[in-house]
C-alpha cells in the first residue's frame, strides 16, 4: 500500500459513512453533464510532456479516486540517441495533478527496441499494479504487447519474458505474422482466473493480398503464452467477415466492472474496412468459435437506410455487457452520429431498445460527424459514450470533446448535459476523446488529445463531467482497501 492510499484509507471510510447518511453530495450539487470544476481547475486539463505527438487511448479509475491514463508519447529513445514513439502510462491524483509517486513525475515510458510502441488498453489490478496492452515493436514490425507495472510504476519482474536468471522483463511480446508484418493489439480482457486475452489484428494472405484479420491471444497471469487456447499456440485468428477486405478489431465487450463474461467466453467487435458493415463475434473459453452466438458465431451489422429508417452500423468502436447479459454496441452509421444498438446475450437484436434496437445522438449538421470512440456503463444501467463532435463555435469547423448519455432502455437521457449530450471545447483547435470510464464517485472521466494554438502535435487531454452517484460500492468496495 503506497503512502497516498494509506492517507486516504481513513478518509474514505468517513466519506462512505457520510454518503450513506445524507442525500446530497458532489454529484447532486451540480447538474449531470456539467464540468467538474475541481478537476484541472476548469473541468479539463492537458499535459504536454515532450512537445510531441501525445495521445490518451484508455483510462482506468482507481478506488481511491486516482486514475491511470495510457497511450503514447514521443519521448527519449531508451536504446539509442534521439526520440521514439513510446508506450505511455500516466497516473493522476483525483484533482487531475500528475501523481509524482508513480514512475518519473507521474509518467512511465516503455521503449523496448527503439521503435513505435503504444498502449491501447489498461486495467488497474487489486494491488494497484497496472496491466497494459497494445503494441510493442522491433525495428521492422509491431507485435502484440502486454506490460505489467508495480504500484510505483516500475516493471514487474515476475511477469513476461525471461530476462537474466529467474528475473523477467515485465513485458511480453507475441509475433503472430512473422518478421516484416505488423500485429497490433487493441483490446484486453482479464479473465476470472487471471489469464489475459488480447485482441487485435494480424495480416493474412487471401484473395491475392495480405488483409488484416481479427486475432486473439491468451497469456497466463504471469505473462506466458497460454497453449490451452486455440490450436496449442495460444492464438486464434477469425475468418474474414467480408471476403476480400480488411477487418478492424475495435473492442472486447466488458461489463461495468471491466470484466468479460464469467463463463470465459469472449465477445469482440469491430468493422470491415470500406464495406459499410460492422460485426460482433464470440469465442468459447478454449478459443473455438461459439456457434450459439448469432449465425455461426458472428453478427453482421450492415448499415442501411430503408424508407428513411436507418439500421445497422458501418463502424463499431466499443461494446459492453450489461448486468442482464445483453450486449450494447457503440458505433456510427450513415446518419453520422453516436449510435448504440443492443443485442441479447446470444446476439439477437433487442427491438425493445431505442427505436427498433437502435438509438442515435447527433448535434452537428447533417453533413458533419459526431463520432464515437468509447462506451461505459453506469451502475443504474445508463450508457455513456465519448468521442468528438464537429463544431464551428470559434470559426472554422474543428473537433471538440463530446459525451452523450442514454437511459437503460435506449432513450436519450435529456437530463444529462444539454439535452442528452455535452460538447466541451478543450482547445480552439481540434480536440476529442478516445476513452471514457465511470469513476467510483459516479462521475465521468474522458481522455483523448488536444491540439493547442501554436503547437504542431497534440497533447494528452482529460476531462471530468458530473455523473450519477451510483458506483460508490462498485466491485465490492467497502472502504477497507
Q: For residue 356, what pLDDT band results from cuts at 50, 70 and 90? A: very high
Q: Where are the beta strands (DSSP E) in 125-233?
A: 130-137, 142-149, 171-174, 184-190, 196-206, 209-219
* pLDDT of 33 higher than 60: yes
pLDDT tens for residues 397-435?
999 999 999 999 999 999 999 999 999 999 999 999 999
- Output the pLDDT for position 181: 95
- Output the pLDDT for position 56: 98
Give the total number of structural domains in the chain: 1
Q: For residue 17, what pLDDT band results from cuts at 50, 70 and 90? A: very low
Q: For residue 7, what pLDDT band results from cuts at 50, 70 and 90? A: low
pLDDT tens for residues 139-190?
789 999 999 999 999 999 999 999 988 899 999 999 999 998 999 999 999 9
Residues 6+ apart with CB under 8 A from 176: 143, 144, 183, 202, 215, 217, 235, 237
Please give the DSSP secondary-structure letter assigned to residue 474: G
* pLDDT of 82 higher than 90: no
Sign of CA dihedral 341, 342, 348, 349: negative
Residues 6+ apart with CB under 8 A from 476: none
Measured distance CA(288)–CA(218) in Å, rounded: 13
Say if CB 366 and CB 311 are below 8 A apart.
no
* pLDDT of 195 higher than 60: yes
- Output the pLDDT for position 476: 44
Q: What rounded mean pLDDT belongs to the chain?
A: 92
DSSP character string of 80-119: SSSEEEEEEEEEE-TTS-B-TTTTBTTEEEE-SSSS--EE
What CATH code is carried by the domain that includes residue 83? 2.130.10.10
Helices (H) and strands (E) in the chain, counts: 2, 30
Determine the structural domain holding residue 321 and report its residue range: 3-476
Residue 416 lies in a domain: yes
* pLDDT of 455 higher than 60: yes
Measured distance CA(406)–CA(419) in Å, rounded: 11
46 forms beta bridges with 461
* pLDDT of 8 higher than 70: no
* pLDDT of 2 higher than 80: no
Residue 481 lies in a domain: no
Global pTM? 0.92
Q: Are strands 277-283 and 247-252 parallel, antiparallel or unpaired?
A: unpaired
Measured distance CA(193)–CA(185) in Å, rounded: 21
Q: For residue 213, what pLDDT band results from cuts at 50, 70 and 90? A: very high
* pLDDT of 23 higher than 80: no
Residue 48 lies in a domain: yes
**% residues pLDDT > 70 (the chain):** 91
Measured distance CA(381)–CA(323) in Å, rounded: 8
- Return the minimum-mean-pLDDT range out of 6-15, 38-47, 367-376: 6-15
DSSP character string of 357-395: SEEEE--S-TTS-EEEEEEEE-TTS-EEEEEEEEE-TTS
Say if CB 240 and CB 274 are below 8 A apart.
no
- Output the pLDDT for position 259: 95
* pLDDT of 245 higher than 60: yes
* pLDDT of 14 higher than 90: no
Q: For residue 10, what pLDDT band results from cuts at 50, 70 and 90? A: very low
Tell me the average pLDDT across 308-327.
97
- Output the pLDDT for position 1: 62
Residue 286 lies in a domain: yes
Which grid cell sits at 218?
Answer: 491468451
Residue 27 or residue 177, greater confidence: 177
Residue 218 vs residues 185, 189, 215, 285, 469: alpha-carbon distances, Å: 12, 9, 10, 10, 35
Residue 194 lies in a domain: yes
Residues 6+ apart with CB under 8 A from 92: 66, 67, 68, 69, 98, 99, 106, 462
Measured distance CA(145)–CA(90) in Å, rounded: 18
- Output the pLDDT for position 41: 94
* pLDDT of 471 higher than 60: no
Which grid cell sits at 454?
Answer: 501554436
- Output the pLDDT for position 442: 96
Say if CB 401 and CB 345 are below 8 A apart.
no
Question: How crowded is residue 233: how many other Cβ atoms within 10 Å of its Cβ?
Answer: 13
Nearest partner of 404 among 365, 359, 439, judged by Cα:
359
- Return the minimum-mean-pLDDT range out of 252-256, 290-294, 365-369: 365-369
Sign of CA dihedral 252, 112, 210, 336: positive
Structure-derived torsion over alpha carbons of residues 252, 257, 261, 264, reported in degrees to the nearest 10:
90
For cell 486455440, the residue is 230
Which grid cell sits at 230?
Answer: 486455440
- Output the pLDDT for position 316: 98
pLDDT tens for residues 55-80?
999 999 999 999 999 999 999 888 77
Residue 379 lies in a domain: yes
- Output the pLDDT for position 334: 95
Amino acid at each position: 500500500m503506497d503512502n497516498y492510499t494509506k492517507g486516504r484509507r481513513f478518509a474514505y471510510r468517513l466519506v462512505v459513512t457520510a454518503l450513506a447518511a445524507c442525500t446530497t453530495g458532489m454529484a447532486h450539487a451540480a447538474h449531470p453533464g456539467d464540468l467538474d470544476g475541481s478537476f484541472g481547475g476548469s473541468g479539463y486539463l492537458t499535459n504536454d510532456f515532450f512537445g510531441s505527438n501525445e495521445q490518451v487511448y484508455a483510462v482506468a479509475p482507481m478506488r481511491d479516486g486516482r486514475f491511470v491514463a495510457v497511450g503514447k508519447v514521443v519521448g527519449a529513445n531508451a536504446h539509442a540517441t534521439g526520440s521514439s514513439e513510446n508506450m505511455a502510462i500516466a497516473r493522476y491524483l483525483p484533482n487531475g495533478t500528475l501523481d509524482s509517486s508513480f514512475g518519473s513525475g507521474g509518467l512511465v515510458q516503455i521503449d523496448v527496441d527503439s521503435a513505435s510502441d503504444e498502449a491501447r488498453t489498461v486495467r488497474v489490478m487489486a494491488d494497484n499494479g497496472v496491466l497494459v496492452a497494445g503494441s510493442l515493436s522491433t525495428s521492422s514490425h509491431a507485435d502484440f504487447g502486454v506490460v505489467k507495472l508495480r504500484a510505483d510504476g516500475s516493471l514487474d519482474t515476475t511477469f513476461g519474458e525471461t530476462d537474466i536468471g529467474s528475473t523477467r522483463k515485465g513485458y511480453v511480446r507475441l509475433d503472430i505474422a512473422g518478421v516484416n508484418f505488423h500485429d497490433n493489439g487493441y483490446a484486453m480482457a482479464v479473465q476470472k482466473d487471471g489469464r489475459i486475452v488480447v485482441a487485435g489484428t494480424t495480416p493474412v494472405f487471401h484473395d491475392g493480398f495480405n488483409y488484416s484479420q481479427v486475432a486473439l491471444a491468451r497469456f497466463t497471469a504471469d505473462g506466458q503464452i497460454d497453449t490451452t487456447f486455440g490450436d496449442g499456440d495460444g492464438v486464434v485468428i477469425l475468418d474474414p467477415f467480408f471476403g476480400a477486405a480488411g477487418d478492424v478489431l475495435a473492442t472486447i465487450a466488458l461489463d461495468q466492472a471491466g470484466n468479460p463474461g464469467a463463463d470465459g467466453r469472449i465477445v469482440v467487435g469491430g468493422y470491415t474496412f470500406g464495406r459499410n458493415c460492422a460485426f460482433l463475434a464470440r469465442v468459447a473459453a478454449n478459443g473455438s468459435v461459439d456457434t450459439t452466438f448469432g449465425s455461426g458465431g458472428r453478427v453482421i451489422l450492415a448499415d442501411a437506410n430503408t424508407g428513411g429508417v436507418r439500421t445497422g452500423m458501418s463502424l463499431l468502436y466499443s461494446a459492453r455487457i450489461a448486468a442482464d447479459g445483453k450486449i450494447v454496441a457503440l458505433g456510427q452509421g450513415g446518419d453520422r452520429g453516436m449510435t448504440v444498438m443492443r443485442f441479447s446475450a446470444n446476439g439477437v437484436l433487442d427491438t425493445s431498445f431505442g427505436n427498433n434496437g437502435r438509438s442515435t445522438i447527433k448535434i452537428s449538421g447533417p453533413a458533419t460527424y459526431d463520432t464515437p470512440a468509447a462506451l461505459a456503463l453506469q451502475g443504474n444501467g445508463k450508457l455513456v459514450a465519448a468521442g468528438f463532435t464537429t463544431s464551428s463555435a470559434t470559426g472554422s469547423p474543428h473537433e471538440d470533446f463530446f459525451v452523450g448519455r442514454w437511459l437503460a432502455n435506449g432513450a436519450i437521457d435529456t437530463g444529462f448535459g444539454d439535452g442528452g449530450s455535452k460538447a466541451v471545447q478543450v482547445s480552439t483547435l481540434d480536440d476529442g476523446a478516445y476513452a471514457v470510464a465511470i469513476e467510483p464517485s459516479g462521475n465521468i472521466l474522458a481522455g483523448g488529445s488536444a491540439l493547442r494554438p501554436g503547437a504542431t502535435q497534440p497533447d494528452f487531454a482529460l476531462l471530468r463531467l458530473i455523473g450519477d452517484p451510483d458506483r460508490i460500492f462498485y466491485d465490492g468496495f467497502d472502504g477497507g482497501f
